[in-house]
Structure 1
Amino acid sequence: MKKRIFLPVILIVLLAAAGCKKYVDKGLPDQFDDKTFWRSEDNVRSYSWPFYELFPGYGNGGSFGDFYFTSFTDDQANTTFQNFTLNVPSAASSWDFSTVRKANIMLERIDAVPMPDEAKKHWKGVARFFRALVYFARVKDYGDVPWIGRSMDISDTAMIYKPRDPRTLVMDSILYDINYAVDNMRVKDQTNTVNRDVALALKARICLYEGTWRKYHTKLGLPDAGKFLLAAKDACEKLMASPYKLSADYQSNYNSLDLANNGEVILYKKYLPGYLTHSVIGYTTSSSQMSGLTKAAVESYLCTDGLPISLSPLYQGDNTIKVTRSNRDRRLLQTIDTFLCYNGNLVQGMSSSTGYRPSKFLQPLVANVLAPYNDTDAPLFWLAEVLLNYAEAAAELDNLGQYAFAQTDLDKSINLLRVRANLPPLQYAGAQKVAVNGAGYADPKKDADVTSLIWEIRRDRRAELMMDGFRYADLMRWSKGDYMSSATHPDIFKGAKVPDNGAVLRDANGYITPYKAATSRTFADPKNYLLPVPSGQISLYPNGTLAQNPGW
């Protein structure tokens, strides 16, 4: 029988046991004895369990996770208006390096633990994996950050008040960490724990982000975009050569009660009634208004002939939800429901900010549909993202003149996803142009500074990962923050076309408007590409040591 590891359950048991032992030995159950803890590999493993809290998944209980709740994008309209940060905060939970310190301590203690060298290398890889994960999040938020490569005590003021290191140094350090993890972590450790394949998936995610950030944020003059893109492509190829296989059903990755036997999933977050649950289903089932998909998001899906709605003769318009869903990418059909629900037109008490009800995460067999008691598993790393990362990295490298893109690159990546989505394969016509069913085309909505090949790969990424928590970061790395501006992209503040009922807000063409007419959002370039460093942190440093980000 396959061994199943329930991380939250193990963590609770270990912490409880550790607390009892400390009480017997020391009489101080609230203290951690660093000198006597590092005695075995099991102790190292137990020290590593809290790192898994870095994976939000669907959230914990009533807290929000990466899926559905990350609605600050052009794909969803939150039930209440969301805007960019307007003022520098005094504090921010994202400016936190406590987990970095925890990883550094683990790295420094492992050599003294009586265990084989193979085990020491593996656990150093685990510590470096999570340190890379944390620093990747910090770089996405702030750009330059202090790189802290060792643990500190209160007297180490030089390190405590260290200024921000250049992004290039930090990202090279992250790459070193994740490469060490790939080279030294076990192929398999305990079931559903981080291992070499998870490290490869994280490496691909990190390197694609950084490579494209450097390619498109040209004013920053950052070097080595190709180095990171090649690293992303190579990591993906290794995973694509592994026995992972796409699930037959797209939705099963998101509404499964147990992902243990899903051959597409590389790592997942396990939920179990009574131990750890979430609220994704509850928030898309209750009478609380849902954050629906925008008109912009729905219109981005292809028709079943592989063409965008502006070119396809199969597109029937959007006068009703039935025609909106007709002849469309199967992923759209599994992402929004068959009915519209909105103010003045509730369905079983439900309403959506845009009329489109998110249905991707629903599972009728869940133990409890109410929040926060949902127990479907959340994918953390899975093959679909790897295939998308590969296609994009390969296309970007070709665009840089560092790789020769070919049809085979599409056939072993996004065309596999298109089969599942009931779409014809994308064909490569050379020179970054594309075709479908033998006929070349270019989407009239395509940005002038993006090639047709990259545009269509981005479209597939958007459709495949809709509401999965990637979209905001994608817009930032592509230097497309203006997609979030309502003046230049008004469809991000629109929903379905519906008749007037006296209760729902609509524009002159009958599309739902989630917010009042005067509501607007403007992206400030370059200011909004990075968060402001909290003023409280800056004030703690000697004057001028901790610099603020541009525009703040």
Structure 2
Amino acid sequence: MKRNIILLPLCLLCAILISSCDDYLEKKPLTQIGNDDYWKATSDLANYTLQFYPSLPAFEVVGSYTGLIGWDGTRGSDTQITGVPSTVWNGSRSPVTSTSDKEWNWTKIRSVNVFFDNYWKCKDPFDSYKHYVGEAHFFKAWFYFEKVRAYGDVPWFSKALDTSSEELYKARDSRVLVVDSILWNLDKAIEYLNPLKSVDGGSNRLSKEVALLFKSRVALYEGSWQKYHKGTAFGTSGADPDKYFRLAVEAAEELMDSQYSTGLYSTNSPSEDYCKMFSLTDQTSNKEALLWKRYDKGLGMGHSFQIYVSDRTAGNSLTMEQIHHYLKKNGEPYDYISVGKTVKGGDFLTKIAEDCDPRLSQTIWIPDMVMWDNGYGKGIFTKPFLNQSGEYLNNTGFQIKKGNDPKDPQAGSGVSWNTNCVTGAIVFRYAEALLNYAEAKCELGEVVDYDKSVNLLRRRVGMPDFKVQSDINRSLYADYGYAISDELYEIRRERTVELGCEGFRYDDIMRWAAHSLLKGKRPKGYPLDLSEWEGVKINYKVDENGLLDPYIGQIPNGYGFDPERDYLECIPINEITLNPQLIQNPGW
């Protein structure tokens, strides 16, 4: 593990000290500073923690829009895909040899521990800097949660170590100890962080609200993991799932209390608000965006999202498995397969947009929608980019629209690739807390208050209130490999719809032990209408229902996920060579 402790140059301190505390943009990392010269003022602590903000998911400064709207495809899921099958879900990963290949790297955690080893040297009153101590607790929890999701049991380090420290060669601590330590750090973050209304930097910097939301996420993840992996090599003997579900409920309920600066974005436009929320350049007045990332092209801090969500695709496509989750506008299940037998292609897209949950037509492109209307002219969506390739290709017929702003100057085919887009990136939004609450409460077997949770999300888009119901077509999109109650099925449906394309699906499948959603199956697209493509060359295959079957040539037998191995990552082999106390994960 020696090679993982990377001490970065002192000169990087300058980049931190001159950076703004109001907005987090792209900050250079910092792990080693002159301890005799630093830590004396509140501003030192405030500037130090800025280095951790770029670790949070947002729009990439270069490349496509991975990190937010396209993340479910890049990471791999049943609901969103790229041009090639996910190696995780296909079970085709090879053992990892070095730390440069994967996440077994401790630099960021060491950097946080440097803060804890030194912040007490500050000469200012504790109340003046406790917020930044709270930030450090939050980021320690964040970085360790990444480790737990990837590897399960990991070593817990309470202080900054150097390359000669014997503690580097310790064994892995139990998952329960690590997760409980994560939650302890989040409790300290909640205690020390200012509420959003009092944060210097507003919703561009961490707040008590964000820590509460993240605590509900961590606790829900662990409760689900321990419940659904029980009795497997990935469960922890003696773990209590209900303890974590209870903590998830408590954190979410506290956040739902009216004392906090939270709410849902709405301009009373049910047909637009859900999509529009993700297209805003400035999220300051959006109470749903508890934490968001501001961009400024004048500082060289931009991205290319609006280019990709209008004229390109970054190779990302939604699947029929996602579409199946959208209910009819009357709140009842919709039989997409039966409709697709007679209505195909663009007509199918138009019909399901007319018939179903308005979030569907705010997530994917429908014929005749305006893609851009700016200085580059006006672009109308006619059909998905099945005839394209690379970063222009859509291979399912369901082309992602979520977050598009036709008026944005970076939208459209006339825009050469650049990173001048400044659409704000929502990192944490309040809607997740409502969904976390409903799921954890249901898992506990308790009565869910839908009027203060899921129904708020549905009413924003004009959908009927939540109801428990059955669906004869569940096997097409919700085959988890085990039975759950109709109520929990419908809560999971609502989560999949509301958080679609936001990077949650991979973790949801993992924590639910839901490999049956993918194993032996292939993702499908819309019912193809070949008459729309006369004279145009497209590469296509369809299944027995006439649905696009983009992976049939690559994985004819479906995904090859190995449930005895693939729920956790391989610990790099060279790390086990360096530290024989490390035990490899199951199956690797």
Instruction: Give the TM-score of the pair, scaled to structure 2.
Output: 0.81
Q: Structure 2: which amino acid aligns with 1:425?
A: D
Tell me if structure 2 keeps the 8 A contact 1:279–1:374: yes
Quick one: which of 331, 338, 343 aligns to 2:386? 343
Residue 126 (structure 1) shift: 1.5
2:443 paired residue number: 396
Counterpart secondary structure, 1:379: strand
Residue 281 (structure 1) shift: 2.5
Q: For 1:462 and 1:330, how far apart are their aligned partners in 2?
A: 14
Residue 414 (structure 1) shift: 0.7
Map of 1:290-305 to 2, 5 A cutoff? 290-305=315-330
2:36 paired residue number: 35
Q: Structure 1: which amino acid aligns with 2:324?
A: E
Quick one: which of 97, 115, 119 aligns to 1:90? 97
Map of 1:2-13 to 2, 5 A cutoff? none
Residue 373 (structure 1) shift: 2.6
Structure 1 pair 171/317, CA: closer, same or farther in 2 (3 Å)? farther
Residue 316 (structure 1) shift: 9.6
1:244 paired residue number: 262
Q: Which moved more, 1:62-71 or 1:265-274?
A: 62-71
Residue 479 (structure 1) shift: 0.7
Unaligned runs of 5+ in 1: 1-10, 19-28, 399-403, 428-433
Structure 1 pair 317/281, CA: closer, same or farther in 2 (3 Å)? farther
Residue 496 (structure 1) shift: 4.3
Summarize deviations over 1:198-257 as a string: whole Å, max 9, x none.
111111111111111111111123512111111111111111113422112111221111
Structure 1 pair 416/312, CA: closer, same or farther in 2 (3 Å)? farther
Counterpart secondary structure, 1:119: helix
Q: For 2:403 and 2:227, how far apart are their aligned partners in 1?
A: 34
Summarize deviations over 1:377-415 as a string: whole Å, max 9, x none.
1111111111111111111111xxxxx314xx1111111
- Is the aligned partner of 1:235 residue 2:251? yes
2:189 paired residue number: 181
Q: Structure 1: which amino acid aligns with 2:498?
A: E
Unaligned runs of 5+ in 2: 1-11, 20-29, 267-272, 368-382, 412-416
Residue 456 (structure 1) shift: 0.4
Summarize deviations over 1:301-354 as a string: whole Å, max 9, x none.
11111111139999997522212322111111100011331334x69x954121
- Is the aligned partner of 1:468 residue 2:502? yes
Tell me if structure 1 keeps the 8 A contact 2:398–2:525: no
- Is the aligned partner of 1:524 residue 2:580? no
Quick one: which of 60, 79, 94 aligns to 1:75? 79
Counterpart secondary structure, 2:575: helix
Tell me if structure 2 keeps the 8 A contact 1:505–1:513: yes
Tell me if structure 2 keeps the 8 A contact 1:316–1:324: no
Residue 96 (structure 1) shift: 1.4
Residue 42 (structure 1) shift: 0.3
1:108 paired residue number: 117
Structure 1 pair 30/381, CA: closer, same or farther in 2 (3 Å)? closer
Q: Structure 1: which amino acid aligns with 2:587?
A: G
1:23 paired residue number: none
Q: For 2:311 and 2:139, how far apart are their aligned partners in 1?
A: 36
Q: Structure 2: which amino acid aligns with 1:507?
A: V
Q: For 1:420 and 1:15, how far apart are their aligned partners in 2?
A: 40
2:137 paired residue number: 128
Q: For 2:502 and 2:174, how far apart are their aligned partners in 1?
A: 30
Q: For 1:102 and 1:31, how far apart are their aligned partners in 2?
A: 8
Map of 1:170-319 to 2, 5 A cutoff? 170-187=178-195, 188-190=198-200, 191=202, 192-219=204-231, 220=235, 221-241=237-257, 242-248=260-266, 249-275=273-299, 276-287=301-312, 290-310=315-335, 318-319=343-344
Tell me if structure 2 keeps the 8 A contact 1:125–1:185: yes
Q: Structure 2: which amino acid aligns with 1:292?
A: S
Q: Structure 1: which amino acid aligns with 2:515?
A: G
2:541 paired residue number: 506
Residue 480 (structure 1) shift: 0.2
Q: For 1:442 and 1:227, how far apart are their aligned partners in 2?
A: 33
Q: For 1:179 and 1:153, how far apart are their aligned partners in 2?
A: 28
Summarize deviations over 1:427-463 as a string: whole Å, max 9, x none.
3xxxxxx25xxxx777653555111111101101000
2:525 paired residue number: 494
Summarize deviations over 1:464-496 as a string: whole Å, max 9, x none.
1111000000000011022122x2x43x24344
- Is the aligned partner of 1:455 residue 2:480? no
- Is the aligned partner of 1:45 residue 2:46? yes
Q: For 2:554 and 2:213, how far apart are their aligned partners in 1?
A: 43
1:117 paired residue number: 126
Residue 14 (structure 1) shift: 4.7
Q: For 2:298 and 2:238, how far apart are their aligned partners in 1?
A: 49
Q: For 1:124 and 1:234, how far apart are their aligned partners in 2?
A: 23
1:412 paired residue number: 452
Tell me if structure 1 keeps the 8 A contact 2:68–2:425: no
Tell me if structure 2 keeps the 8 A contact 1:499–1:510: no
Counterpart secondary structure, 2:112: helix
1:424 paired residue number: 464
Counterpart secondary structure, 1:381: strand
Q: For 1:483 and 1:274, how far apart are their aligned partners in 2?
A: 45
Residue 81 (structure 1) shift: 2.9
Q: For 2:253 and 2:342, how far apart are their aligned partners in 1?
A: 39
Structure 1 pair 251/230, CA: closer, same or farther in 2 (3 Å)? same
Tell me if structure 2 keeps the 8 A contact 1:236–1:389: yes
Summarize deviations over 1:145-173 as a string: whole Å, max 9, x none.
1111111123212x111111110110111
Tell me if structure 1 keeps the 8 A contact 2:313–2:392: yes
Counterpart secondary structure, 2:72: coil
Instruction: Give the TM-score of the pair, scaled to structure 1.
Output: 0.86
1:6 paired residue number: none
2:157 paired residue number: 148
Counterpart secondary structure, 2:530: coil
Structure 1 pair 318/211, CA: closer, same or farther in 2 (3 Å)? farther
Q: Structure 2: which amino acid aligns with 1:247?
A: Y
1:539 paired residue number: 577
CA RMSD after TM alignment? 2.7
